[in-house]
Amino acid sequence: MLQVLILCHGNICRSPLAEVLIEAAISADPLLTGRVVVSSAGTSDEHAGEGMHTNSAAILSARGLRSTHQARLFTPTMAATLDLVLAADQANLRNGRAIIRMADTQPEIRLLRDFDPTATGRDLDDPWGYPPAEYERTAAEISAAIPGLLAELRDRL
């Protein structure tokens, strides 16, 4: 079973949105269903225990997907259980690497947008504090990375 974690700053906007979108894509892929588990966390504990941002939740609800979530902090203990960590941006990639270095076993860590060959830039910008259209843009960027990610996951199995 492959364990994949999506990592952003507060774990209320980008990473839970990506978690659910990727989870839905995996459940639609017969080669990956039941063989890959996706979760998310943040490099900051400032939102720990909170639910998903309402704009991220609205996007998922409109697609008939799960919108329940509880933000949590990424820890070395958590890192030791993972195969792959996908960071939203360069800052969380750096912070994630620092956390992973403290783990007993160290998963691979990459940027989520690296799986989109057409991406302009490597960071998935944080929509927090911006209007709903920015959350839609974030969802579109996540969705564009999903085919490349699924191909990578299939290769790992």
d(CA 129, CA 40): 20
- Indicate if 13 belongs to the active site: no
**Catalytic site residue from 72, 113, 116, 126:** 126
- Indicate if 126 belongs to the active site: yes
**Nearest to residue 4, comparing CAs of 31, 29, 32?**
32
| Token pair in block for residue 42 | 């943040």
**Catalytic site residue from 13, 14, 72, 116:** 14
- Indicate if 14 belongs to the active site: yes
Q: What share of the chain is helix, strand, coil (3-state, %, to 5)?
A: 45, 15, 40
Return the CA Rg of the chain.
14
**Catalytic site residue from 8, 13, 89, 113:** 8
d(CA 10, CA 48): 8
What positions carry a catalytic annotation? 8, 14, 126
